[in-house]
Amino acid sequence: MPQRITGHTELIGLLATPIRHSKSPMMHNTAFEALGLDYAYLAFDIQPDQLADSVKGLKALGAKGWNVSMPYKTAIIPLLDEISEASRLCESVNTVINQDGRLYGTVTDGTGYMMSLRDCGFDVIGKKMTVLGCGGAATAICIQAALDGVKEISIFNASDAFFPRAEENARKIRENTGCIANAYPLEDKERLRAEIASSVLLANATNVGMGKLEGVSLITDKTMLRPDLICTDVIYTPEETAFLKLAREVGCPTMNGTGMVLYQGAEAFRLWTGKEMPVDAVKKVL
């Protein structure tokens, strides 16, 4: 719609590399159009040595805000004036709001996951969940779940280079929220079975199940699952991972990663515009 952009149109951006595959421009521009809001969302593929200049430039141009994706979610923090508690604990920012020249950063990935659970009618507040993984996605989920009032989180990760982060995430959650959190090696199958048995939700927050690991699941033993266990995956391509297929066969309610993508965007949209994203219109373009 060429006539949509005018001299008044406000800019919202996205800084990352690579980024041309991102669904965010389509999501946000669809939402602006649906609500008749005079904003345009553009993706900027920038190199690491351009990050500081890009932030300065967006600020100087009066951009309303921007998203940040890999590999800049942590690197952008020193360039901002203030960050949220979730960003401090995750050491990650995916959304910047330009408050009249003051740059406020927050992370909406975990909020997106929690909103997506609510959208599916799944309630974990005051209950226990088990999370597989401790990378970017898993950290955002665990920290937000703890901040939102989940009672206990058991984190499992392979004894790989990431494992110290699992312990660090559990420690941060214990020290900064009212949530109980512990980290365990994924190889300890009996502990995994016991923690799942006392949880209402099991989340795969690793990349196992997509790309070269499509068809692979960290859970292969159906007897670890039960029909009232909510099973979720952060992966959205494929729509049903091997883990979610196994869960469906057991009769578990399941949720893939599409809602997390949608609602992390919806939360950013609300922070920039003060309006709720028209998610039904946006779901059609995802």
110 binds ligand NAD (CB under 6 A): no
Cα of 99 vs its chain's centroid, Å: 23
User: Which residue from 54, 67, 264, 273 is in contact with ligand NAD, where contact means CB under 6 A?
Assistant: 264
Tokens linked to 240? 């049903």
138 binds ligand NAD (CB under 6 A): yes
Q: Identify any residues that bridge with 255 across adjacent strands, giving them in sequence order.
A: 232
Q: Which residue from 186, 71, 80, 206 is spatially nearest to 137, judged by alpha carbons?
A: 206
User: Which residue from 109, 148, 152, 267 is in contact with ligand NAD, where contact means CB under 6 A?
Assistant: 109
Q: How far is the CB of 175 from ligand NAD (least distance, A)?
A: 21
Tokens linked to 88? 């401090």
Q: How far is the CB of 137 from ligand NAD (least distance, A)?
A: 4
Tokens linked to 236? 């959205």
- Find the binding residues for ligand NAD in span 220-239 (CB under 6 A): 234-236
What is the C-alpha to C-alpha distance for residues 126 and 150, in angstroms, rounded to an integer? 5
The span from the first CA to the last CA of the chain, in angstroms, equals: 19
Nearer of residues 65 and 133 to ligand NAD, judged by Cβ: 133
User: Which residue from 87, 95, 206, 241 is in contact with ligand NAD, where contact means CB under 6 A?
Assistant: 206
207 binds ligand NAD (CB under 6 A): yes
158 binds ligand NAD (CB under 6 A): yes
Q: By beta-carbon distance, which residue lies closest to ligand NAD?
A: 135
Tally of residues, the chain: 286
User: Which residue from 15, 208, 266, 279 is in contact with ligand NAD, where contact means CB under 6 A?
Assistant: 208
What is the C-alpha to C-alpha distance for residues 281 and 62, in angstroms, rounded to an integer? 28
Residue in the block written with tokens 């226990």: 128
Q: Which residue from 264, 274, 262 is spatially nearest to 10, judged by alpha carbons?
A: 274
DSSP state of 208: B
The catalytic residue among 64, 73, 128, 172 is 73
Tokens linked to 284? 């059609």
To the query of whether residue 73 is one of the catalytic residues in this protein, the response is yes
Nearer of residues 8 and 212 to ligand NAD, judged by Cβ: 212
| 120 touches 255 (CB < 8 A) | yes
Q: How far is the CB of 195 from ligand NAD (least distance, A)?
A: 16
Q: How many residues bind ligand NAD (CB under 6 A)?
A: 24
Nearer of residues 224 and 260 to ligand NAD, judged by Cβ: 260
Centre a 10 Å sphere on the Cβ of residue 242 and count the other Cβ atoms it contains.
22
Q: How far is the CB of 61 from ligand NAD (least distance, A)?
A: 28
Q: Which residues bind ligand NAD (CB under 6 A)?
A: 109, 112, 133-138, 157-158, 160, 162, 206-208, 210, 218, 234-236, 257, 260-261, 264
